[in-house]
Amino acid sequence: MKRVGQLLAAVTDPENLRLAFWKASKGKRAKADCRSFQESLDTNLGALRADLLAGQVRVGDYHYFTVHDPKKRTICAAQFRERVLHHALMNVCEPVLERAAVFDSYACRQGKGQLAAVRRAESYARRYGWFLKMDVRKYFDSVDHTVLRGLLRRKFKDGAVLALFDQVLASYQTAPGRGLPIGNLTSQHFANFYLAPLDRFIKEHLGRGAYVRYMDDFVVWGESGADLRGVWREVEAFLAAELRLALKPNVGLNRTAFGMDFLGYRVFPQELRLARRSRLRFARKFRRYECEWVAGRWTELQLQQRMQALVAFTLHARSRPWRRHVLHRFGVVANGLEPRDSRRQLEQLERQRQELPVSEPQQQQPGQQEQQHRVPGCPRPSSSGVLDDAQADPAAILSPGVSFRGE
């Protein structure tokens, strides 16, 4: 494929910079750095454009923090101005990187998210008897800058854009010449692009059509364990020689009928379940969210938003029995706690509501939380706002502060 050049003009185009600001500000409008940048938007975008054209843009001013979900990671949060720069770069360069990707490469691609990768893995599990699951050891920390620069120069020939890529890479190192900062938009695309040669090697050189990769987690399917052991050796040698990477020692080689942990799910030929780690994570977060609400640190709206996001992940798998189990074991009433509005208060408020004339608006009682409007005949949401896939079953709804004493 021909290398692409003359990209700096597109990157610095005022409309592209405005689009980059809009993308960078999604979900960040309440933050001080975003508001400050927006207050003088034209001036700030003009200054960024001038710095880009002069080759004097500053990068690498990171704020570091640690997360432990699902494992300990150091996150590098760039300043808002630099995040606008990253979006401006990727608006123009992402289509070039996209052309290097194979169909079964997922993550950081339109329509190629986590669930799409899992569904693709399900389809292969139904067709093949064995799987080989591999994962790169400390992937983001191990990406070699020299190798990545070489790969980028095979796709781009614009010197100014390549210089920007080099600046971003040089702004972070876990070891001399290695590492990508987790949290950067550019890091996500670079990390996915870095393993494109591996995709080609497995699909074209080894001739393995049944293959799925989500970032550095990848799986190959086959008809026998002995056959896949040969693939394992070939892949390990290729990663070490060409990309200077190593596999984690916990390579999985087994029959598909026994199930495979992949991206938080347990993939079987005929069904999808939650992986053990996902179940533990769900129960831990469920208990913490309820404690925040009972203690009064969260409003019901905040609780609903977090519960909906938590439950959404589980709805794609056969998880209803597990959610019922968590509800009965860890729910508010099960822990000996009572909601801030008792059942008697709620029943009294309901009677008062029914006694009001239809034409008169309901008066909100002191201390009463605002009632949610609902369509008649629809199931009433719980205080967490989460409805199960079987909405008529109250025990399947994860609702803090609701007692099922009548069951």
Predicted local distance difference test score (pLDDT) of residue 328: 78
Positions in the chain short of pLDDT 70: 1, 69-70, 331-407
Predicted local distance difference test score (pLDDT) of residue 240: 97
SS (H, E, C) the chain: CCCECCCHHHHCCHHHHHHHHHHHHCCCCCCHHHHHHHHCHHHHHHHHHHHHHHCCCCCCCEEEEEEECCCEEEEEEECHHHHHHHHHHHHHHHHHHHCCCCCCEECCCCCCCHHHHHHHHHHHHHHCCEEEEEEECCHHHHCEHHHHHHHHHCCECCHHHHHHHHHHHHCCCCECCECCCCCCHHHHHHHHHHCHHHHHHHHHHCCCCCEEEECCEEEEEECCHHHHHHHHHHHHHHHHHHHCCCECCCCEEEEHHHCEEECCEEECCCCEEECHHHHHHHHHHHHHHHHHHHCCCCCHHHHHHHHHHHHHHHCCCCCHHHHHHHHHHHCCHHHCCCCCCCHHHHHHHHHHHHHCCCCCCCCCCCCCCCCCCCCCCCCCCCCCCCCCCCCCCHHHCCCCCCCCCCC
Predicted local distance difference test score (pLDDT) of residue 359: 43
What is the spatial distance between Cα 330 and Cα 92, in angstroms, rounded to a whole number? 49
- How many C-beta atoms lie closer than 10 Å to residue 108's C-beta? 22
Strand order from edge to edge, sheet including 265-267: 260-262, 265-267, 272-274
Quote the tokens at residue 186: 């550019």
Predicted local distance difference test score (pLDDT) of residue 66: 87
* Stated pTM of the model: 0.78
What is the spatial distance between Cα 294 and Cα 308, in angstroms, rounded to a whole number? 17
pLDDT in tens, 359-384: 444 444 444 444 444 433 334 434 44
- How many C-beta atoms lie closer than 10 Å to residue 127's C-beta? 11
| Gyration radius from the chain CA atoms | 26
